[in-house]
Structure 1
Amino acid sequence: MNATPLRFGVNYTPSQGWFHHWLDFDLDAVRADLDSIAGLGLDHVRVFPLWPLFQPNRTLIRPRAVEQLVQLADAAAERGLDVNVDGLQGHLSSFDFLPAWTRTWHRRNIFTDPDVVAGQVEYLRTLAAALADRPNFIGMTIGNEINQFSGEPHPDPDVITDEQAGAWLRRVLDACEEGAPGKLHVHAEYDAAWYQDEHAFTPAQAARLGGATAVHSWVFNGTAQRHGRKGTMTEHHGAYMIELSKAWALDPHRPVWLQEVGAPAPHIPAEHAGEFTDATIANALDCQDVWGVTWWCSHDVSRSLADFPELEYSLGLLTNDQQVKPAGRTIARIAEEWRGRDHAPEVRSTALVVDTGDSESAPLRSTCAPGGQFYEAWGRLTAQGARPAVVLADLAGDSEHLASRGITEVLTPEQVD
């Protein structure tokens, strides 16, 4: 495996107005935020246009909004920051942002309706093309955890099959590539793709479509509740998701991007946020093929904004007035320690077998979720000092596959038990 430099970045949450800042776009305020992010020694930001504001009508993509996105990217470049752009927002911090032309009187499935998908394709292609010539443009992410619209527990889901999810992903990823050829275009799901039985978006799609696998690690999903703030699986959850994703990858060295991870209170109390951040990143970086870590998020949500879940108000590395918090100091130190170094951890030669039924559709994914047999076995093995990789049940006897990944020992969850 070739050693590669690591990327350290942050999901940009504007200090003034949160993502509603697009309504009153203030480039000076954005520059101040980016100054504070660059001051942490980070090298990239992930930014979030609000889909209904950028494309309020299916055939209207607002030129002024696209221009403001480019201005943000250029301001980031001036501060040494690269930019990834999430297109279809979609869903952010418990709020849904869908255009009126997909809801109520115009209710249409956002994954399968031909007119809606054609509108999405043109929108994503337009954003990608607007930034294609910028050297600091990393590429597009299709949307923020847009899989949450595809089924339960969403209160009004656009229900689809896994085949329909795969067809949609291929089409919108192709649109990004058409707009900005050769850039790193990815899609990112919340952990139902890995943990929820029969969810439409599958691990195979996550690990095989797009230029890298993006994983989002949140320990409020039952991990911290079950294992406590210092539990092995709490501190290794990001690493677990990285290794779990690698089981489905066709390329043994496909890059994995820990694209969202944060320290949510009260599961991680404020006074322990720095410690959790340190452990989470250290454990994630003990995995091979990590592209980078992008923390959630840059700035706290202002208490002047109502109706957010309580934990959303305090996830920032910085306060609203640009003061660095303990987790911010921790990430700044880690970024400095890794600057100029290559990332080449030791191979994980022991693998734990995961059986989710059919490996393509993975109908029995709950074994991978907190409390599931595989999940808990991986945690026990890690607590014993092992560094377990993950291998699919139908590949556990494939000597060529195991050799390509450096795996020399294969265990089942029953053996760990």
Structure 2
Amino acid sequence: MDRAARTPRFGVNYTPTRGWFHHWLDFDLDEVRADLDSIAALGLDHVRVFPLWPVFQPNRTLIRPRAVEQLVALADAAGERGLDVAVDGLQGHLSSFDFLPSWTTTWHRRHLYTDPDVVAAQEEYLRTLAAALADRPHFLGMTVGNEINQFSGPPHPDPDRVCSAGAARWLERMLAACEKGAPGRPHVHAEYDAAWYRDDHPFTPAQAARLGAATAVHSWVFNGTAQRHGHAGTATEHHAAYLVELSKAWATDPHRPVWLQEVGAPAPLIGPAHAARFTEATVANALDCADLWGVTWWCSHDVSRELADFPELEYGLGLLTNDRRVKPAGAALARIAAARRGREHRPAVRSTALALDVGGAEEAPGRSVCAPGGAFFEAWAALTQRGARPAVVLEELAGDPAHLSARGITEVLRVHDVTRPPA
């Protein structure tokens, strides 16, 4: 991904208005075009799209050519409207529903991350999708899958447990398969925030911040942030920025791009009356972080009330209604995108850093201090509320002059500096 000072990208995770992601079963390109027209009208520049893995690869040795053709048709329709396209591969998991092919479950139960046949089939699937789009100039690259780390442990009811070394090997193989299919494209992987917040989670911050072309972060304030701090609290409105800065602590490249790949306004914690303000504040605060590649909002269109069994918050997350009318949050993001178009992204350096001790950078066994309610999270939020712009530095690097200098850090604080009573 381009590392020069540049205009941040503004896009949306595409949720089809007709049939949600089940639209792949009854693919209608005219409906897709109408959806993409409504997205393009907001002035956004890219979409993230989601093939359903069991629809595209219903048998371990069958990747349906017609399904791949439909994905390419969707990508071409987006390109015709000035929208670049990022494609997630292994879906995997979407909006509380799991989409695993039958050859990995029940009578054919096999491990998603370690079974040789399953892993080889995943590699071929990702390579095939990437190769089908490799010659499209508007193809941004692949994401391995949407939050597929949620299959690796609690709270999933039937997890495929794996150690962190096994998770890293799997990620490296999946990213290599994407690269084989579309060489030179910026391929990434993406986890939900257990990777940053859960002590025993096998997918780690180091993997997120070091593997792939960029670090992808997913910011959801229903994780305890909004419950503790309210819909307009500093921690709530800065949660996305916090994850961007947190990710930088583990990056070996001080200017590694960070993609805010998912962020949304979940009701009732962020009610409809507050969604536009939350959108404006969240994006403005994320834009105050250096090396931000872009913001991809979740999601484009509301889920139809004709579809059953979604968690209530999922129905109203769209920037547009299910009949393609712009909502206040959609209008807010459109204004931001228009105002930032053509402007370089050069936020001031964050010269003050808060040191983070997670018991070791690689495994991060104590990373729960980073979670809402954790000592580090709350100290970072308190500093921010006081008007500071804290970066994050790992404790083991807090005394490394070269590391601090490369990031422009001139002052390092500890949690106790923030939380102790004033003299």
Shorter-normalised TM-score: what interval? over 0.9
Aligned length: 417
Amino acid at match of 1:163: A
Amino acid at match of 1:72: L
Structure 2 counterparts to residues 57-206 of structure 1, below 5 A: 57-206=59-208
Structure 2 counterparts to residues 37-76 of structure 1, below 5 A: 37-76=39-78
Residue 34 of structure 2 corresponds to which residue in structure 1? 32
Give the one of 265, 272, 275 matched to 1:273.
Answer: 275
Give the one of 376, 380, 383 matched to 2:378.
Answer: 376
Give the one of 343, 346, 358 matched to 1:344.
Answer: 346
CA drift of 1:326 comes to: 0.3
Residue 358 of structure 2 corresponds to which residue in structure 1? 356
Amino acid at match of 2:182: A
Contact 1:38 1:81 in 2 (8 A): yes
CA drift of 1:252 comes to: 0.1
Residue 265 of structure 2 corresponds to which residue in structure 1? 263
Superposed CA deviations along residues 217-261 of structure 1, whole A, max 9, x for unmatched, are 000000000000011000000000000000000000000000000
Other structure's SS at 1:343 match: coil
CA drift of 1:363 comes to: 0.7
CA drift of 1:2 comes to: 3.8
Residue 20 of structure 1 corresponds to which residue in structure 2? 22
Residue 246 of structure 1 corresponds to which residue in structure 2? 248
CA separation in 2, counterparts of 1:358 and 1:90? Answer: 30
Structure 2 counterparts to residues 323-338 of structure 1, below 5 A: 323-338=325-340
CA drift of 1:382 comes to: 0.2
CA separation in 2, counterparts of 1:334 and 1:191? Answer: 26
| Residue ranges of structure 2 left out of the alignment (5+ in a row) | none
Contact 1:51 1:98 in 2 (8 A): yes
CA separation in 1, counterparts of 2:5 and 2:104? Answer: 45
Structure 1 runs of 4+ off > 3 angstroms? none
Amino acid at match of 2:376: F
Superposed CA deviations along residues 244-282 of structure 1, whole A, max 9, x for unmatched, are 000000000000000000000000010110000000000
Other structure's SS at 2:150 match: helix
Other structure's SS at 1:4 match: coil
CA drift of 1:405 comes to: 0.1
CA separation in 1, counterparts of 2:392 and 2:79? Answer: 38
CA separation in 1, counterparts of 2:234 and 2:283? Answer: 14
Question: Is 1:211 aligned to 2:221, yes or no?
Answer: no
Contact 1:2 1:344 in 2 (8 A): no
- Identity across matched positions, percent: 77
Superposed CA deviations along residues 347-382 of structure 1, whole A, max 9, x for unmatched, are 000000111101101011100000000000000000
Amino acid at match of 1:378: W
CA separation in 2, counterparts of 1:357 and 1:107? Answer: 35
Structure 2 counterparts to residues 267-346 of structure 1, below 5 A: 267-346=269-348
- TM-score, normalising length: structure 2: 0.98
CA drift of 1:184 comes to: 1.1
Superposed CA deviations along residues 126-157 of structure 1, whole A, max 9, x for unmatched, are 00000000000000000000000000000000
CA drift of 1:5 comes to: 1.7
Other structure's SS at 1:394 match: helix
Other structure's SS at 2:294 match: strand
Give the one of 403, 412, 415 matched to 1:413.
Answer: 415
Other structure's SS at 1:108 match: coil
CA drift of 1:4 comes to: 1.7
Other structure's SS at 1:5 match: coil
CA separation in 2, counterparts of 1:82 and 1:177? Answer: 18
Contact 1:87 1:140 in 2 (8 A): yes
CA separation in 1, counterparts of 2:222 and 2:323? Answer: 27
- TM-score, normalising length: structure 1: 1.00
**CA RMSD in angstroms, aligned pairs only:** 0.6
